[in-house]
Amino acid sequence: MEEIKTVCIVGPGRMGIGIATALLAGRPELRVVLLDVKDRDPGRENEALERARAEVERNLILLKDLGELAGNPTERMEGLALTRDANEHLKSCGVVFEALPEQPDLKQAFLRNTEGAFERSAIIASSTSTIHLSTFCEAARHPERIVIAHWLNPAFIIPLVEVATGDATAPWASEGILRFLTEMGKIPVELRDSAGFIVPRIQVAAMNEAVRIVEEGVAGPETVDTAIKAGFGFRLAVLGLVEFIDLGGLDILYNASRYLYGELGLEQYRPLPSVTEKMERGEVGPRSGKGYYDYTGVDTDAMFLDRYRGFVELLNLVRRSRHLDFRGGIRDRSAADPTR
């Protein structure tokens, strides 16, 4: 795959702005083209693009102020081009990030109308968080170069990008987008195309349960958010969910699931088949040598100490921060005590 020098972002909305900021901040040598394909009122055709330009610049200035940008924000902005012409600038684009609203017909129409404007070797990556890859492939003349690259807002801060590929995806396209994202400092994870991918599926399940707790009167929104920030979310900043299951003991998940399923009767609490199977085999985590991970040859005492150090490091970070705390609710943290 040739070196990528020009990247196109389709859609000047929140995600498009975030991706543009990330690209300009992470790869200063890139030329970034922001394309608006939406019909606009006469005389106001360029307003969305100009707003996007201003917000990208504000984001870059913020990154500079936070010490996350080595260069000059104004100089980085020189790499950004704005256009409403789908044929202008685009022939040389090595990657196209489609960031249109979550409407399949709209995204398919874009592909049908503009795919011919890009080089055959260009990778086209949709930023969708919900739509199947096959939906895009149906509208493409060259489905082998279509992937999903799901960025998480704010795209210029969150490291993760979920890359979904399918049977039609060419190896050069999947390898190329993973390499490109890695080189610009992101953490891409490749997964099989599935509705909701990884993060949105887990998020939706957790968010629905948080709302259910509020609806049932168990606790108010602020209390729920405090519990998430000071407990559940705090631990997940150090441990992944599957590692969390293993280190806590898979038997805890199994027994908690059975109890909550019996008490609440909600299907999402029924113990899953692999959990039951592992319980039957005694594969409950580090103390048995195997859970969802294999702990053969692992110094588990040292592993636990390392995770504890991570917890304390994170705890101290929150204690020192003017912008972080464990309390739920809406408040102005910018006026927090600077001695914290």
Structural domain count, the chain: 2
DSSP 247-282: HH-HHHHHHHHHHHHHHH--GGGSPPHHHHHHHHHT
**Residue 332 pLDDT class (50, 70, 90 cuts):** low
Q: Is 340 domain-assigned?
A: no
Looking at the structure, tell me whether residues 73 and 188 fall in a common domain: yes
Looking at the structure, tell me whether residues 170 and 224 fall in a common domain: no
Across 123-144, average pLDDT = 91
Q: Is 304 domain-assigned?
A: yes
Looking at the structure, tell me whether residues 40 and 58 fall in a common domain: yes
Average pLDDT in the chain: 92
pLDDT above 60: residue 338: no
Which position has the token pair 């396209």? 173
pLDDT above 80: residue 119: yes
Sheet harboring 146-151: ordered strands across? 80-83, 31-35, 6-10, 95-98, 123-126, 146-151, 160-165, 187-192
* CATH assignment at residue 242: 1.10.1040
203: left (phi over 0), alpha (psi -120 to 50) or beta: alpha
pLDDT above 90: residue 39: no
Of the residues 143, 175, 192, which one is the last residue of a structural domain? 192
pLDDT above 50: residue 333: yes
- How many helices (DSSP H) and strands (DSSP E) are in the chain? 13, 8
245-258 residue pLDDT tens: 999 999 999 999 99
Looking at the structure, tell me whether residues 102 and 203 fall in a common domain: no
pLDDT above 60: residue 100: yes
Looking at the structure, tell me whether residues 87 and 122 fall in a common domain: yes
Q: Please check whether residue 43 is in contact with residue 125, taking contact to mean a CB–CB distance below 8 angstroms.
A: no
Closest CA to 135 of 157, 181, 95, 103: 103
Residue count of the chain, please give it: 340
Across 312-319, average pLDDT = 94
pLDDT above 90: residue 218: yes
Looking at the structure, tell me whether residues 130 and 224 fall in a common domain: no
Across 132-141, average pLDDT = 90
Q: Please check whether residue 121 is in contact with residue 111, taking contact to mean a CB–CB distance below 8 angstroms.
A: no
Q: Is 265 domain-assigned?
A: no
Of the residues 146, 162, 192, which one is the last residue of a structural domain? 192
pLDDT above 60: residue 336: no
Q: Is 241 domain-assigned?
A: yes
Looking at the structure, tell me whether residues 206 and 109 fall in a common domain: no
pLDDT above 80: residue 118: yes
Amino acid identity of 193?
D
pLDDT at 1: 59
Looking at the structure, tell me whether residues 181 and 227 fall in a common domain: no
Q: Is 256 domain-assigned?
A: no
User: For strand 31-35 and strand 80-83, is the pairing parallel, antiparallel, or unpaired?
Assistant: parallel
Domain that holds residue 49: 6-192
Closest CA to 123 of 177, 203, 69, 73: 177
Looking at the structure, tell me whether residues 206 and 167 fall in a common domain: no
Which position has the token pair 């349960």? 209
* CATH assignment at residue 65: 3.40.50.720
Which pair of structure tokens corresponds to residue 208?
């629905």
Calculate ∠ Cα 245-248-250, nearest 5°.
55
Calculate ∠ Cα 194-178-307, nearest 5°.
80
pLDDT at 337: 47
Looking at the structure, tell me whether residues 76 and 182 fall in a common domain: yes
Q: What is the DSSP letter of 80?
A: E
Looking at the structure, tell me whether residues 27 and 176 fall in a common domain: yes
137-195 residue pLDDT tens: 999 889 999 999 999 999 999 999 999 999 999 999 999 999 999 999 999 999 999 88
Amino acid identity of 190?
E
pLDDT at 335: 54
Q: Is 267 domain-assigned?
A: no
Rounded distance, CA 166 to CA 178, Å? 14
Looking at the structure, tell me whether residues 131 and 216 fall in a common domain: no
pTM of structure: 0.88
